[in-house]
Amino acid sequence: MSLPISLTTSKVFLDTCVVVSASVYGSYQDLGIQVEHRFYTKTVPLFAIVKKYGDKHVGIITSTIENQSIAAIAKAVTDALEEKAAQILDSESRAKLFESHTVFFDQCLAHLQENLSILQREPVSQTEKDQYYPDVAIMYNNLRNTAQRLNINQLINANVTYRYRQTIRHEVYEQYKKRYRQLLKLKNEPVEESDKMILCEAICLLNYYRKTVNPDMKLYLASTDYHFSPSNSHGEVTEQIRKQFQVICHWPDEIALALKSDGFT
Amino acid sequence: MSTKSVFSYINDMRSDLNRMEAKGFVDRSFMAKIDSLGSELTKMKQYWAEQKAVSVGSAFIFYSGMHNAELVLSRMRDRFNKAHEAKDNPGVACDSLLVMPIISEVFQKAARAAEEKERLSPFLPTEMLKLVSTLRTTARQVSLLPTLDEEVKRTDKNLLKETAMELDKKFVASNLLNDV
């Protein structure tokens, strides 16, 4: 029986944070403890689909994502270790501390390897990525300028009648803050170069699949990063990425739902 | 043993393994060599646990490299010990030949880092991380990596519990994506 056509028209590119969230957990049944990254559960439905449809190579990564994931997991564990090691002076306790952390680190590495084994690693040439970089950089600069011009007090003054302004200002202020969370995040935390490169890779992959597999190919970018995915409200950044580059960014659990609608039941 | 002697010791072990593979016969006396190499790795691991001239993060990565090489050697020893009864002859020698060059490289990187210390190249911990990942993947493919449960069993339970609880708090409280 042939599979529905939609199964060959959707791919998911996984951002480093998603691969890391899916790998950072540990279960110690003897000790009755479970350690879990805060976004681990959001990654479970997406990985279930990727695994189920392994032969369709629906989940994709690049070497950038793979290398960043190992480094991010190491950093998470060593940051925790550094805090603790600073309080310890004797060699024996320090050695024990290293040992207990390395067991958890090994466990995360094992999960990472398991997760990577079901993802398709695609090559993306640096030259091709560089072609898209100016467009991506300009888009983020423009959005940042919009974010810097964003003045919530002015919005309140323009949209709320004077009579109610003082009484509901705090409430409305919070609503606007939520509404523009993605832009405000961009204002306070400019997007990193490595994130821009990940978006360039996503654009290269979408073009490659549209040329070689299916001209109607949909590419999702699964991320827990506000520089790509929306927060609880509207996402100006997400919307702009979709409009300009046709890459659909969202949280991993939301992408799992979208894939179900695309036929990945 | 000096660092140079450790490398020539590993090379000798590789020659032994090649001989065993060619003859199709596993020599159990090889276990003594595994033990000698294991004790050198333990010394190097201890060195990195105590090393304060570099950041805790870098020291931990080299420590982890030694720890993983030790794990692989312990599994290799178990298999050599049971090779005849388990009909793992010369399978264990062939499998060991695949991981020995990686163990050698792991040791070489840790030894180089120990020489560089304060002048430690920032690329060396990253290279070690990739190597640890390669060692684990290769060792797992040829059944030379103990299971996670076996690894947990060797660890101080109370400390592990404490570490796990602290890490859980950290992972719930922070968003790793900002660290990437």
| CB-nearest partner of A36 from B152, B159, B171 | B171
Residue B9: φ, ψ to 5°: -65, -45
Cβ-Cβ contacts under 8 Å, B50 against chain A: 91, 94-95
- Out of A37, A81, A113, closest to residue B171 by CB: A37
Chain B residues within 8 A of A26 when measuring between CB atoms: 164, 167
Q: What's the pLDDT at A1?
A: 45
- Measure in Å the smallest separation between the Cα of A162 and chain B Cα atoms: 40
Is the pLDDT score of A149 beyond 80?
A: yes
pLDDT band at A178 (very low <50, low <70, confident <90, very high): confident
Question: Which residue has better confidence, A5 or A176?
Answer: A176
Q: Is A48 on the interface with B (CB under 8 A)?
A: no
Q: Report which of residues A63 and A167 the model is more confident about.
A: A63
Q: Among A160-164, B1-5, B18-22, whose mean pLDDT is lowest?
A: A160-164
Taking the Cβ of residue A183 and every Cβ of chain B, the question of whether any pair is shorter than 8 Å is answered with: no
pLDDT one-digit tens code per residue, B17-69: 999 999 998 998 999 999 999 999 999 999 999 998 899 999 999 999 999 99
Angle at B175 between CA B170 and CA B180, to 5 degrees: 110
Please state the rounded mean pLDDT for residues B148-171. Answer: 80
pLDDT digits (tens, 9 = 90+) for A135-144: 999 999 999 9
Give the residue from A38, A60, A25, A34 showing the smallest Cα distance to A247: A60
Q: Which pLDDT value is given to residue B180?
A: 31
Give how far A160 is from chain B: nearest CA, Å.
35
Distance from CA of A133 to the nearest CA of B (A): 20
Average pLDDT over residues A74-90: 85
Which residue is it, tokens 């959001």? A42
Q: What is the pLDDT of residue A233?
A: 66
Give percent above pLDDT 90 in chain A.
58
Per-residue pLDDT band for B173 (boundaries 50, 70, 90) equals low
Q: What is the pLDDT of residues A14-59, one digit of tens each?
A: 999 999 999 988 877 777 777 888 899 999 999 999 999 988 899 9
Calpha distance A181→B33 (Å, rounded) = 61
B131-148: average pLDDT = 94
Tell me the one-letter amino acid at A34. Answer: Q
Q: Which amino acid is at A257?
A: L
* Two structure tokens written together for B72: 């692989």
- Chain B residues touching residue A37 (CB < 8 angstroms): 171-172, 176
Cis peptide before B90 (omega within 30 of 0): yes
pLDDT in tens, B60-107: 999 999 999 999 999 999 999 999 898 888 999 999 999 999 999 999
Residue A124's pLDDT band (boundaries 50, 70, 90)?
Answer: very high
B49 chain-A contacts, CB cut-off 8 A: 91, 94-95, 98
> Which among B57, B151, B152 has the least Cβ separation from residue A82?
B57
- Could you give the CA distance from residue A236 to residue A242 in angstroms, rounded to a whole number? 10
Count of alpha carbons within 13 angstroms of residue A147, beta-carbon side: 24
**Among A62-71, A143-152, B39-48, where is mean pLDDT lowest?**
A143-152
Tell me how long chain A is.
Answer: 265
**B20 vs chain A: nearest CA distance in angstroms?**
31
Q: Is the distance from CB of B150 to CB of A110 less than 8 angstroms?
A: no
CB-CB neighbors (< 8 A) of A194 in chain B: 180
Residues 80..109 of A with a Cβ closer than 8 Å to B: which?
A: 80-82, 84-86, 91, 94-107, 109
Closest chain B residue to A90 measured between Cα atoms?
B50
Chain B residue numbers with beta carbons less than 8 Å from the beta carbon of A21 are 176
* Exposed / middle / buried, residue B55 (Cβ in 10 Å: 0-12, 13-18, 19+): middle
CA distance B2 to chain A (A): 23
Determine whether the interchain pair B129/A72 forms a contact, defined as Cβ–Cβ distance below 8 Å: no
Rounded to the nearest 5 percent, the helix, strand and coil shares of chain A are: 70, 10, 20
Chain-centre distance for alpha carbon A108 = 18
Residue of A nearest to B58 (CA): A78
Q: Residue A16 and residue B180: Cβ atoms within 8 Å?
A: yes
User: How many alpha carbons fall within 13 Å on the CB side of residue A213?
Assistant: 20
Nearest chain A residue to B149, by CA: A28
**Burial (CB count within 10 angstroms: exposed 0-12, middle 13-18, buried 19+), residue A180:** buried
Question: Looking at residue A35, what DSSP letter applies?
Answer: E
- pLDDT band of A240, cuts 50, 70, 90: very high
Does residue A4 have a cis peptide bond before it, meaning omega lies within 30 degrees of 0?
no
Q: ipTM score of the complex?
A: 0.86
A115 and chain B: CB distance < 8 Å anywhere?
Answer: no
* More confidently predicted of B46 and A265: B46
Cβ partners under 8 Å of residue A214, min gap 6: A8, A9
At residue A6, does pLDDT exceed 60? Answer: no
Distance between CA atoms of residues B106 and B67, nearest Å: 10
Distance CA(B120)–CA(A74), nearest Å, equals 18
